[in-house]
Structure 1
Amino acid sequence: MIHYYYGYGKGKTCSAVGAAMRAYGAGMSVLFVQFFKNDQSSELSALPFEIYPPPHNLGFNPGDEYKVWVDGALDYIKNSSADVVVLDEFSDLIPKFLTVDGMKKVLSSDREYIITGHNKVSELYDLADYATFFQKEKHPYDNGVAARRGIEY
């Protein structure tokens, strides 16, 4: 089954991690992959399950060098035997780094996928068994407060 958490509200990654922790606690194997995030996300140091290593340096507008990392991550996901795969910010890969057909190939196996992202990808929404939209109403960033370690990353 596919869980899809999308929108610009805070909490998508937290929801995905919570669902993955529940699965892990029930004895399921979990693979966690973050896209568009570097190795500085604080949750990475606390998760008890398999994590695909994120890039160390990642700018705000990654290009061809990031595509190489993405392709490696997608191959790893396809070959993984994990029961549950968390794909954080995965829908944001489409269309710049991943086609819709490529997305469908990644999601083709019979396991649980927990996917997050900002924009609603209609083809992913149609495939999803669960879909939850996160809407930001207020955020400190709107008032000039920078992202804080341990809270936003």
Structure 2
Amino acid sequence: MGRLAEDEAVKQIKFSVPGPPFGKQRPKFSRAGKYVKTYTPDETVKYENLVKLMYQQEAKGKMFGEGVELDVRIIAYFAVPKSTSKKKRKAMLEHKIRPVKKPDWDNIGKIICDSLNQVAYHDDSAVVDAQVRKFYSENPRVDVTIRVIELD
């Protein structure tokens, strides 16, 4: 994935990651004699690969240019618990009741942005504005919008 010519530059890409929202897990440690090995948990690696795949399917090889300022909007949709009453379920689907549960909003944002390093952008330090929101839905997923902040 090379840098695009100015006239081909990506301005905005939207994509969805199917399934329940997932948060970045802490690194794990294992001891081998005197040495400590640090590694990323398998579930985190699998979800990061899914994020990359979904981005690549939508972007078709395009990447945001180096040095651009990016705005990332993430909406995490959680499944409504099966035991929920009809009245409460309706309120959840109308976004009147929001998920106050794990994963935390910052861990959702972290796994999405970290996954897209060297895939959507050169480094997630290009993200200068971001928002993560949590809602309920019949269709659990994470919707992501990345856009270039246009200078006036």
Q: Give the TM-score of the pair, scaled to structure 1.
A: 0.25
Which of the pair is proportionally richer in helix? 1
Which of the pair is proportionally richer in strand? 2
Greater C-alpha radius of gyration:
2
